[in-house]
Amino acid sequence: MSKRRLCVLGGCGGIGRSLVTAGLAAGYDLAVMDLKAALERHPAPAGTLAVDIEGSDEDSVARAFEAVRRHWGALDGFVNAAGFLIEKRKLVETPAEEFDVTTKGNLRTAFLTGKAAIALLEKGDAPSLVNISSGLGAYIRPNFGAYAASKAGLIALTKTFALEHAPRVRVNAVAPGPVDTAFLRGGTGRSDESGAPNIDIDAFSSLIPMGRIAVPEDVVGPVMFLLGSESRYMTGQTLWVNGGAYMP
């Protein structure tokens, strides 16, 4: 039996690297997509297909997914683990350019790569697409307005893709709370990852019933579940992974 083919967008980030490790352990063939700078900082594991991409650029997306098509011809799984947060600030203090960059990087990227991935998933075996959203997409907090809006849009995008491509392709989302990765320090490929976190980790941890913020491995299990046959009757759903901080 041939291996299932999985592509991870943002595969060099904290969650992405853990997903790639878990996918390899589960026997998937892996493609890792990320910014060129991210691939240079955290090279993809040996034996995986590494593809540089700027997810908000239509031409770059087309080239990246054409590389995957030439390599495999189809996909069985796709995870969008890309995303970034520039800075915390009130909406009235957010420059329009910063709002546009945030929504472009998070929402437009999901739209363009989702379309491209589905074209290959439709040729795959029991295909599944998983978007990484955020608890902030529904559990609104001050000073995260642009990011929250883009992640709420991602949940809507997930549901729409799910409806439009059922029953052939399943499309779901995982929405974690804060995860202790380079994302909190400027993002992989967009910073040197050494800055101070953009949240007070101790303060956030004190508000979470489980007593801590997440680590990447806490998010990997739910994603792998949504990729696999155990979730074969689920589509258009969002799994909230936040240690009990948000219970919709």
Percent of the chain with pLDDT over 90: 85
- Give the mean pLDDT of 171-200: 69
If phi > 0 it is left, if psi is from -120 to 50 it is alpha, else beta; for residue 134 that is beta
Structure confidence at residue 191 (pLDDT)? 44
pLDDT category, 188, cuts 50, 70, 90?
A: low
pLDDT category, 86, cuts 50, 70, 90?
A: confident
**For 200-226, what is each residue's pLDDT tens digit?**
788 878 889 999 999 999 999 999 999
- Give the mean pLDDT of 155-176: 98
- Give the mean pLDDT of 132-143: 94
pLDDT category, 196, cuts 50, 70, 90?
A: low
CA distance 19 to 223: 8
pLDDT category, 195, cuts 50, 70, 90?
A: low
Structure confidence at residue 87 (pLDDT)? 86
Helix (H) or strand (E) holding 147: helix 145-165
The catalytic position among 151, 159, 233, 246 is: 151
* 88 is an active site residue: no
Domain boundaries, the chain: 5-240
The catalytic position among 147, 159, 233, 246 is: 147
**For 221-245, what is each residue's pLDDT tens digit?**
999 999 999 999 999 999 999 999 9
* 147 is an active site residue: yes
Structure confidence at residue 248 (pLDDT)? 87
Asked whether residue 9 carries a pLDDT value surpassing 60, the answer given is yes
CA distance 13 to 163: 29
Per-state percent for the chain, helix, strand, coil, to nearest 5: 45, 15, 40
Structure confidence at residue 61 (pLDDT)? 98
Asked whether residue 185 carries a pLDDT value surpassing 80, the answer given is no
Asked whether residue 151 carries a pLDDT value surpassing 60, the answer given is yes
* Mean pLDDT value across the chain: 92
Residue ranges of alpha helices (H) inside 50-144 are 58-72, 96-103, 109-121
Structure confidence at residue 201 (pLDDT)? 81
**Domain 5-240 annotated CATH 3.40.50.720:** yes
Asked whether residue 190 carries a pLDDT value surpassing 90, the answer given is no
Structure confidence at residue 206 (pLDDT)? 84
